[in-house]
A and B are shown apart, each in its own frame.
Chain A
Amino acid sequence: MNWNFTAGNFSLRLPLTEQDGDALYELMSAQSRVDHLPRLAMSVEAQALDELRRVAMRFETREAAFWLVEGLFDKQLVARVGIYKINWMQLSAQLQWELADAVDLPLMLEVIPPLLNFAFDELNLHRLEMRLRAGSQRHEALLQGLGFTFEGVLPAQLEYEDQSVDLAVWSYLSSDRC
């Protein structure tokens, strides 16, 4: 199975630990890009290397897969998108993304549908869900524009910076495709 593919004017490829650390650090060192997860932004470059190694291990066990989204021509990293907590019994997984500031709905409409098709057709999954900090307006607007369905808010799912964080749940089913 080929895990790398193109989506419109973008390529989605699995990261390489040896070469993608700098670009990933650049993407994930701004707090605004990871607030919706929520997690702390990277503050030293070694964290990007560590993240790539962890992701590689999770991919080896087919527990997760993360892709770097790059322009086909300029090779600029615009996002990282991943599925994790892949449950092969339930045919479900959770979706996560970190987006560069310029990413908007038209770009996501190029990238995400092919990713969903890959998850449903190649991996045979049935349900993808995203859990993100409730009130993450930019991301929830993108999810809505992409056709995801809001399912509710799970209270107090994370203890983060002395706060209990509620997570909104959005989902997309294989049967949601037209």
Chain B
Amino acid sequence: MNFTPELPFAGGRVRPLHYDDVDALFAIYQQPEIPGQRVLDNKDNLTRMVDLSVQMAATQRGMMWLLEVGTDGHYEVQGMVSAYDWQPSQLRTMLRVDGLPALSLQQRAAALKVCMDFMATKYHLRNFGYQWIAGQDDALKGMLEEAGFSLAATLRDGWRTGESSFADVLQYHLLRGEHKPVPGRLGEQDNPGQNLAKSFNSGQNNGGGEA
């Protein structure tokens, strides 16, 4: 069963992880962009990570995409997009992009947008958060604001970078305008669950209520 879709965007695509992506994932984690994040020293955990990416998507706890840049038939892995701390009942999730240095801000923004569009359409998520950690590239903050995120809070020493060192976390949020779902009896709204072939928004009765 497939729970994570492939989604194209201008200049690339995001797609689900596969076992044969372990080398590409290992390359990404050789250049961690989060302060304090260790360089990965073995690939064993990455096979487990591919398993987890399926389990998390199936249970609506998170979703991971490989981020590829290129055009049809010629793609190059440049990073990952992850949704984590997914709270289906609260209609929100956090997002994160881990990119190689060659990944541009425009490509990051485009990948984020296509993932948010999917999760908003498929799962009614309306609130997307992103944490920028002091020490990361300052330009990421501008990218987030241009993409529609707003700074909501600065979490002092919210991220541990070493044995006794910490970094501030700037937490951004983007609130979407889609209608909230309304309760219905089983089958009444052709609830799509994890079935990628169905969507709340594809039919006339989309189950949406007034915001």
Which A residues are within 8 Å of any B CB, using their own CB?
Answer: 89-92, 126-127, 129, 149, 151-159, 164, 169, 171, 173, 175
Contacts and interface: CB of A to CB of B under 8 A. Distances in A.
Given A155-B175, A171-B156, A127 B166 contact: yes
Contact of B152 (A91, A155, A158): A155
Interface of B: 89-92, 126-127, 129, 151-160, 164, 166, 171, 173, 175, 180
B173 A155 contact: yes
A154 B152 contact: yes
A155 B158 CA distance: 18
Given A154-B153, A158-B90, 16 more contacts: A92-B158, A126-B160, A127-B166, A129-B155, A149-B156, A152-B152, A153-B152, A154-B129, A154-B152, A155-B127, A156-B173, A157-B92, A157-B127, A164-B91, A169-B153, A175-B157
6 contacts: A90-B158, A129-B155, A151-B156, A155-B175, A156-B173, A175-B157
Contacts of B91: 156, 159, 164
A156 B159 contact: no
B92 A156 contact: yes
B156 A152 contact: no
Contacts of B159: 90
B92 to A, nearest CB: 7
A127 B164 CA distance: 12
B155 A169 contact: yes
Main SS class of interface, A = strand
A127 B152 contact: no
A175 B129 CA distance: 27
A163 to B, nearest CB: 10
B182 to A, nearest CB: 10
Contacts of B166: 126-127
B175 A156 contact: yes
A170 to B, nearest CB: 10
Nearest to A151: B153
Given A155-B173, A156-B175, A127 B92 contact: no
Contacts of B171: 152, 154
A173 B129 CA distance: 23
A161 to B, nearest CB: 13
Across the A-B interface, the 3 shortest Cβ-Cβ residue pairs: A152-B153, A156-B127, A151-B153
B160 A152 contact: no
A173 B153 contact: no
A153 B129 CA distance: 13
Interface-centre pick from B89, B151, B159, B166 (highest chain A CB count, 10 A): B166
Nearest to A156: B127
A127 B156 contact: yes
A127 B151 CA distance: 21
A151 B171 CA distance: 10
Contacts of B129: 154
Which among B89, B154, B158 has the highest number of chain A CB atoms within 10 Å?
Answer: B158
Contact of B173 (A90, A127, A154): A154
A171 B126 contact: no
B29 to A, nearest CB: 17
A85 to B, nearest CB: 11
Contacts of B89: 159
Contacts of A153: 152-153
Nearest to B170: A152
B90 A127 contact: no
B160 A89 contact: yes
A159 B90 contact: yes
B167 to A, nearest CB: 11
